[in-house]
Every structure is written in C-alpha cells, then in structure tokens.
Amino acid sequence: MKTITSIQKHKGTTPLTVITAYDALFASLFDQKVDIILVGDSLNMSFNAKPDTLSASMDVMLYHTKAVCAGAKETFIVCDMPFGTYTDEKTAIYNASRVYAETDAHAVKIEGGIARAPIIKALTQNSIAVMGHIGLMPQFVRSEGGYKVRGRTEEDIVTLIEDARAVEKAGAFSVVIEGVVEEAAKRISEAISIPTIGIGAGKYTDGQVLVWSDMLGFFQAFQPKFVKRYLEGATLVQTALDAYIKEVQERSFPQTEYTYQK
Ligand code: KIV
C-alpha cells in the first residue's frame, strides 16, 4: 500500500498509476495493482447519467468512497470533494473531515489553483491530505462555458505554473493536471517538487489517471481524445447478454450442469 511519502518518491521516477473506481466490485479488481484509486465525482456522469459533475453531493461521494474502501483495502484511496463542498475554509474542513470520519479514504481532492490555495492550506494544517487538481477543471464547466483545453499560450502556461506552485506551497502532496497541452504539463511538472498526475496532459507528468469506465470501454456516450480504450467492455457485455437472451428464449439455458437434480 502506498503512503504519501512513497507516492512522493515517484516524482521524476516511475510514473504513478491511478484509476477511478466507484464501487467495491471494480475496486477489488484494481486493488494492489494501481498505486492510487480515485473516487472521482466523474461518477455523476458515467454512473448517474448526469450531463456534468456538479450535482454530485457529499453524501453520494461518501457512499461510493465507503464502497471503494471496502473493496480495495490495500490501495491508497482519494475521495473527490464535490462541487460546493469547499467554498470556504470552515465548510471545507467540515466536509473533508467527514471523509476521514466516515470512510477509510487516505486523502481528498480539490479542484482549483491559486484561488483555492487558502482552502488547501486550511485542510492540510488540519491534518487532511490533499491532492490538487488544476488545468481543465470539470466543476468550472458552467462558469467557464464548457470544457476548454489549457496551456495553449505562453500566458496561460505561466498562469498554470503559478497555480501548481500555489497548490504545492499550500501543502498538497500531489496534483492532477487535466486537459493541458503536453508542453505545458511538462513545464508544470518541472516547476514543482510534488508528483503531477496527468489526464489528457501528455506523457511528461509523474503519473497518469483515467476514468475506469472510459478506459475499459463501458462508457460510450463520448470518447475524449485522450482516452485509450484497453477493453471494449460495453461490446463484450452486450454480446454476452445477447447470448443469454437467446439461450433463455430457446430453452437451452439452463443446461444440465447448471441444474439441480435429485
Ligand atoms: O472525477 C474524476 O474522475 C476526476 C479525474 C478525471 C481526475 O477528477
């Protein structure tokens, strides 16, 4: 099982492997394989068919984090703090404390750069481990009018580096960099001493994270450019289901080996 210290040793060495999980069953398949499991608020979209992450609540995140912790007892687990649960220091401490009090998760994740540094500092000073998240931040989708790839201009790269430095200075032990052009992610990674974990940020970060239902091909609504499907999960499930339906309808299932006899 990774610790914050061993996670930080991945800076500039072997990339960290991170995947999301939302339930005990899949978490148990990922346990002791990946370095970190993130209970991402992306579950609101891929598990709950909502158009964005904004309506995920603290109670929903706690429910899924408890399930993931039950399924993956030997893996470092991070709980995503949902939209509106860390608007000020007091609210953030209250909600993040619930993660430690009610689940076995090891850390929380917060979206935001310089503007959120005081919140990250308040949490880390109150013994709550924080993973930052900068670049494209899904919780800003409505306020920014969509999902926009970052780091296309020198000015924006400088802003992102300032964000990353602020998050590090506030005490975060690592930071997710999402939806950022490769050169920008490389420069951010070089500018800070905590591990960077990329998603849609190219290969120069200190680790990679993907949403499990994207990378295993279960979520088919859309496929972002950065998602590589390592399995065609939905197709496999539908093929198996078709076989089951056919066998039931033609009474060839259950065969003798699946049937109790006297
Ligand atoms: O919610 C999530 O799954 C995330 C990852 C995309 C990093 O924040």
**Residue 50 domain-assigned (yes or no):** yes
- Comparing CA positions, the residue from 76, 91, 100 lying closest to residue 173 is 76
Q: What does pLDDT average to over the chain?
A: 97
Q: 183 catalytic, yes or no?
A: no
Residue nearest to atom 1 of ligand 1 (CA): 40
Residue 220's pLDDT is: 83
**Residue 25 domain-assigned (yes or no):** yes
- Comparing CA positions, the residue from 16, 34, 77, 86 lying closest to residue 58 is 86
Q: What's the gap in Å between 176 CA and the centre of ligand 1?
A: 9
Q: How confident is the model at residue 115 (pLDDT cuts 50, 70, 90)?
A: very high
**Residue 256 domain-assigned (yes or no):** no
Given a contact cutoff of 8 angstroms between Cβ atoms, the answer to whether 188 and 180 are in contact is yes
Residue 245's pLDDT is: 98
* pLDDT at 106 exceeding the cut of 90: yes
Q: Exactly one of 178, 190, 232, 247 is catalytic; name it.
A: 178
CATH code: domain of residue 118: 3.20.20.60
**Residue 75 domain-assigned (yes or no):** yes
What is the token pair recorded at 21? 């999980």
Residue among 23, 30, 34, 41 to mutate when testing ligand 1 (max atoms within 8 A of CB) = 41
d(C-alpha 165, C-alpha 114), whole Å: 8
Instruction: Look up the domain containing 192 and give its range.
Output: 4-232
Burial class (CB in 10 A: 0-12, 13-18, 19+), 144: exposed
Evaluate: CB of 42 within 6 angstroms of ligand 1: yes
* Count of domains forming the chain: 1
**Residue 157 domain-assigned (yes or no):** yes
**Residue 163 domain-assigned (yes or no):** yes
**Residue 40 domain-assigned (yes or no):** yes
Q: What's the gap in Å between 230 CA and the centre of ligand 1?
A: 18
**Residue 246 domain-assigned (yes or no):** no
Residue 222's pLDDT is: 79
Q: What's the gap in Å between 244 CA and the centre of ligand 1?
A: 34
pLDDT > 90: what percent of the chain? 97
**pLDDT tens readout for residues 207-260:** 999 999 999 999 887 789 999 999 999 999 999 999 999 999 999 999 999 999
Paired residues of 18 in beta bridges:
36, 209
What is the token pair recorded at 239? 């093929």
E-only strand ranges, the chain: 16-20, 36-39, 76-80, 107-109, 130-135, 174-178, 196-199, 207-210
Q: What's the gap in Å between 246 CA and the centre of ligand 1?
A: 38
